[in-house]
């Protein structure tokens, strides 16, 4: 064992940058999956809570979420966007006007969003899936780059976290990099730090917390799933009629819908033209079989529903222990 | 910095088990890509060199390779097999008869191979791509399980190394686990150790060494490629007429052939029935455009051709430095 102390702690450059204790962020999952309650709970536990700002509720929903989060915590939190969707500028400007000083962009060139963020004195993160996109984000002057591996749930790219993160670190240095995708316990966090990441961004791990916005059926399905049960596919986007940038697909838990359509995308396009509206109108009973249960390969680590605060505390304690024990073990020679 | 010493060293349980200095193995790549010269160079540098025992040369080729390796090194080395291919038992028995005491199986249940290996007093590794296969291997009594992520070059599964390794570690404990897929520098090794792996198994990183069996054109193409340039596909197996187990595909660098056929596998099956022999007879000029240039996402880290010994030494030095510096940095609080 390395010399220890009583209090588990991970300190990196992003702790200072965001004025937080632990370099752990919840992913700002869209569609209401990462609401004010989740962001506030993560921030209260010493991480950086993120509200997913892209929902059908638009600006009004987001402003209300920011108000709720501020009632729940005095600590910093941020808002993240699916930035190739329309209205991202409007949403970001509303968040900045409401006093938010940390914003995250994803799935788009962050350059057009930088002037307004800078004018407000906000910190900007940008999530990327390739080295080329990381370089574009660094050139735009973002404060932090999030490198997202293909393991991630929801929309992601095709390169895995382990080989992606060090290459992004090298490509954007000295800009700090945060790792996303496939991380859900202290071992994953310790590994990400070894790859050169200064923090971690977790979606699936926070989806099953009591504060996340997904339904209890959804949470139960993620808890049941193993890491082998996910599929990276366009079928849910095809039936939703929502286009995503080249090289991006969605990772979801295999279900009746994906079993039927993966590998038959052309046929699905024809089917969706006729039955898309009907499919989109299916009620909550059909959710887990017919709709996208977005989740990453980290689903294999999620075995119970806990609070987001407990998740942050246990991740920090585990990562601290792993770093001390494993580093000492392998270097004892 | 943690207290250091002059000599870089990584010590784990597999070092004792295999009587080696560093827990670094070259993948026993088939088809002659991992010949005696590569295995001997890795072993001489303190790692565990592995001959890829599955080639069209059969038993005669393998016995000759073992003889050559023994001339080049007094240190232990092993032989690995693509174990769902015919003749694996014959090949393994020939290796054991020639005095090899470390064998690795992959792509098959190792149970049928255990009695002969045990009778010879050999150590057995088994490479897996899912938790279920890891449990099967542990139940068969193997000494070490290699957990191979989808990042790996050549034939591999669909789950990434970062989420796969810890779940395999938990599933087979106390059997030691070695990580494979996406690892090609000291950061990747340090990360794998944090995930609970006791060692690493590298294919792509050793493909471009002077001792590997692939052509100079092949090496040049891997060195040129980035980690974004690979594709996991069945097209090369379809045209080769070689079936692989369910859930296994091949990762190769995108080339003219993959660009043409990925996504058109049914059409390719029809085309191969007519043109397969012709395609398989293409000469070395067509190699990089028309044949499988197997390589993993770690290709992004490979930027020059060096000797396998230099690779082992630099990996150990880098991993040692990363473990000391990163662990101290994040725990300094």
- pLDDT tens profile A197-248: 999 999 999 999 999 999 999 999 999 998 789 999 999 999 999 889 999 9
Smallest Cβ–Cβ distance between B228 and the set A131, A228, A324 belongs to A131
DSSP B214: S
- Bond before A146 cis per omega within 30 degrees: no
**A227 interface with B at CB cutoff 8 Å:** yes
pLDDT of A287: 87
Chain A positions touching B296 (Cβ under 8 A) are 163
Distance CA B154, CA B321 (A): 30
Asked if B301 and A167 come within 8 Å (Cβ–Cβ), the reply is yes
Q: Residue A192: exposed, middle, or buried by beta-carbon count in 10 A (0-12, 13-18, 19+)? A: buried
Query: Any CB–CB contact under 8 A between B24 and chain A?
Result: no
Q: What's A294's DSSP letter? A: B
Q: Residue B296 has which token pair?
A: 């993993």
* Chain B closest-CA separation from residue A280 CA (Å): 27
CB contact under 8 A, B163 and A151: yes
Q: With contact defined as beta carbons under 8 Å apart, do B127 and B25 qualify? A: no
A131 interaction partners in chain B (CB closer than 8 Å): 226-228, 300
Which residue of chain A has the CA closest to B133?
A228
Percent of chain B's residues with pLDDT above 70 = 97
Residue A228, chain B, CB below 8 Å: the answer is yes
Q: Kind and range of the H or E element at B90?
A: helix B88-97
Chain B residue with the nearest C-alpha to that of A318: B194
d(CA B25, CA A151): 25
**Neighbouring C-alpha atoms within 13 Å toward the C-beta of A191:** 31
Tell me the torsion sign for CA atoms A30, A235, B234, B285.
negative
Residue closest to A26 by CA, chosen among A318, A220, A311? A311
Whether B191 sits inside 8 A of A187 (CB atoms) is no
- Judged by a CB distance cut-off of 8 A, whether residue B194 touches chain A is yes
CB proximity B89 to A under 8 Å? no
Residues of A in contact with B333 (CB under 8 A): 9-11
Chain A positions touching B184 (Cβ under 8 A) are 163
B326 touches chain A (CB under 8 A): yes
Could you give the 3-state DSSP secondary structure of residue A264?
Answer: coil
Answer for the pair B268, B285: CB distance below 8 angstroms, yes or no: no
Cβ contacts of A161 on chain B, cutoff 8 Å: 160, 162
B308 in contact with chain A, both atoms CB, cutoff 8 A: no
Helix B186-194 × helix B308-331 angle, to 10°: 60
Angstrom distance (rounded) from CA B6 to CA A325: 21
Rounded Cα gap, residues B7 and A332, in angstroms: 12
Fill in the DSSP letter of residue A78.
E
Q: Where does residue B73 rank: exposed (0-12), middle (13-18), buried (19+ CB within 10 A)?
A: middle
d(CA A310, CA A322): 18
Give the pLDDT band of residue A2 (cuts 50, 70, 90). Answer: very low
What pLDDT, in 10s, does the model give residues B61-84? 999 999 999 999 999 999 999 999
CB within 8 Å of chain B, chain A residues 118-137: 130-132
H or E stretch at B261: helix B256-261
CB A24 within 8 A of CB A308: no
Tell me whether residues B166 and A301 touch, CB distance under 8 A: yes
**Tens of pLDDT along A31-78?**
999 999 999 999 999 999 999 999 999 999 999 999 999 999 999 999
Three-class secondary structure of residue A38 per DSSP: helix
Please state whether beta strands B144-148 and A144-148 pair in parallel, antiparallel, or not at all (unpaired).
Answer: unpaired
CB hemisphere CA count around A66 (13 angstroms): 24
CB A132 within 8 A of CB A164: no
- What span, in angstroms and rounded, lies between the C-alpha atoms of B129 and A46? 36
Question: Distance between CA A48 and CA A123 in Å, rounded?
Answer: 12
Q: How much is the average pLDDT of A167-192?
A: 98
Test mutation, A23, A135, A162, chain B, max B CBs within 10 A: A162
Residues 6+ apart with CB under 8 A from B30: B52, B53, B54, B55, B82, B154
Would you tell me how many other CB atoms lie within 10 Å of the CB of residue B180?
29
Return d(Cα B122, Cα A110) in angstroms, integer. Answer: 56
Tokens of A182: 């496939």
From B1, which residue of chain A is nearest by alpha-carbon distance?
Answer: A2
Helices and strands (H, E) in chain B, number of each type: 15, 11
Distance from CA of A318 to the nearest CA of B (A): 11
Query: Going by DSSP bridges, is the β-strand pair B199-202/A77-80 parallel, antiparallel, or unpaired?
Result: unpaired
CA-nearest residue to A195 within chain B is B187
Q: What mean pLDDT, rounded, does chain B reach?
A: 94
> To 10 degrees, the CA torsion angle through A201, A206, A212, A217?
130
Which residues on adjacent β-strands are paired with residue B104? B80, B125
Q: Is B260 exposed, middle or buried (0-12, 13-18, 19+ CB in 10 A)?
A: middle
Chain B residues near residue A297 by CB distance under 8 angstroms: 159-160, 163-164
Residue pair B195/B164 in contact (Cβ under 8 Å)? The answer is: no
Whether chain A has a CB inside 8 Å of the CB on B183: the answer is: yes
CA distance A93 to A96: 5
DSSP H helical ranges for A245-333: 256-261, 265-280, 287-290, 308-331
Q: How far apart are CA A298 and CA B166, in angstroms?
A: 11
Record: contact A183-B160, CB cut-off 8 A: no
**333 residues of chain B, pLDDT tens digit each:** 344 444 567 889 999 999 999 999 999 999 999 999 999 999 999 999 999 999 999 999 999 999 999 999 999 999 999 999 989 999 999 999 999 999 999 999 999 999 999 999 999 999 999 999 999 999 999 999 999 999 999 999 999 999 999 999 999 999 999 999 999 999 999 999 999 999 999 999 999 999 999 999 999 999 999 878 999 999 999 999 988 999 999 999 999 999 999 988 989 999 999 999 999 899 888 889 999 999 999 999 999 999 999 999 999 999 999 998 888 877 765
- Please, are residues B137 and B126 in contact by the beta-carbon 8 Å criterion? yes
A6 in B contact zone (CB under 8 Å): no
Q: How far is CA A185 from the centre of its chain?
A: 15
- Read off the pLDDT of residues B124-136 as tens digits, 9 standing for 90 and up: 999 999 999 999 9
CB atoms A160 and B149 under 8 Å: yes
Is it the case that residue A324 has pLDDT exceeding 50?
yes
Q: Which of B162, B227, B333 sits opposite A191 (nearest CB)?
A: B162
Q: Where is B169: in which H helix or E strand? A: helix B161-172
Spatial distance between the Cα atoms of A163 and B299, rounded to a whole number of angstroms: 9
Question: Which residue from B10, B160, B185 is facing A160, i.e. has the nearest CB?
Answer: B160
Q: B12, B132, B194: best mutation site toward chain A, by most A Cβ within 10 Å? A: B194
Whether residue B66 contacts residue B51, with contact meaning beta carbons closer than 8 Å, is answered with yes
Are B162 and A185 a contacting pair at CB < 8 A? no
Inform me whether the C-beta atom of residue A29 falls under 8 Å from chain B C-beta atoms. no
Find the CB nearest B326 among A130, A193, A298: A193
Task: Give contacts of B327 with chain A, Cβ < 8 Å.
Answer: 2, 323-324, 327
User: Does the structure show a pLDDT above 70 at A8?
Assistant: no
With 0-12 CB in 10 A as exposed, 13-18 as middle and 19+ as buried, what is B28?
buried
Q: Which tokens is A235 given?
A: 């079928």
Q: Can you tell me the distance from the alpha carbon of B233 to that of B4, in angstroms, rounded to the nearest whole number?
A: 45
Answer yes or no: do B185 and A162 touch at CB < 8 A: no
Nearest to A188 among B162, B193, B227 (CB): B162
């Amino acid at each position: 064992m390395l010399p220890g102390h009583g209090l588990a702690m991970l300190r990196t450059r992003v702790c200072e940058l965001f004025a937080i204790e632990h370099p752990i962020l919840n992913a700002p999952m869209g569609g209401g999956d990462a609401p004010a309650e989740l962001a506030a709970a993560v921030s209260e536990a010493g991480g950086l809570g993120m509200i997913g700002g892209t929902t059908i509720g638009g600006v009004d929903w987001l402003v209300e979420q920011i108000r709720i989060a501020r009632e729940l915590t005095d600590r910093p939190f941020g808002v993240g966007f699916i930035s190739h969707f329309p209205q991202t500028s409007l949403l970001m400007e509303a968040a900045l006007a409401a006093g938010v000083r940390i914003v995250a962009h994803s799935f788009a060139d962050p350059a057009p969003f930088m002037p307004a963020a800078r004018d407000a004195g906000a910190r900007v993160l940008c999530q990327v899936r390739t080295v080329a996109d990381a370089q574009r984000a660094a050139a735009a002057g973002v404060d932090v780059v999030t490198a997202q591996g293909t393991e991630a749930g929801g929309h992601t790219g095709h390169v895995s976290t382990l080989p992606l993160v060090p290459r992004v670190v090298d490509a954007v240095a000295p800009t700090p990099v945060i790792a996303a995708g496939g991380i859900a316990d202290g071992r994953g966090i310790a590994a990400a730090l070894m790859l050169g990441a200064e923090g971690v961004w977790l979606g699936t791990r926070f989806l099953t917390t009591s504060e996340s916005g997904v339904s209890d059926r959804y949470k139960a399905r993620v808890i049941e799933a193993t890491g082998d049960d996910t599929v990276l596919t366009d079928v849910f986007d095809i039936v939703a009629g929502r286009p995503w940038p080249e090289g991006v697909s969605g990772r979801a838990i295999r279900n009746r819908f994906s079993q039927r359509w993966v590998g038959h995308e052309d046929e699905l396009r024809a089917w969706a033209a006729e039955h898309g509206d009907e499919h989109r109108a299916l009620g909550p009973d059909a959710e887990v079989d017919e709709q996208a249960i977005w989740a990453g390969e980290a689903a294999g680590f999620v075995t119970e529903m806990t609070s987001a605060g407990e998740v942050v505390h246990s991740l920090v304690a585990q990562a601290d222990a792993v770093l001390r024990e494993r580093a000492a073990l392998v270097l004892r020679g």
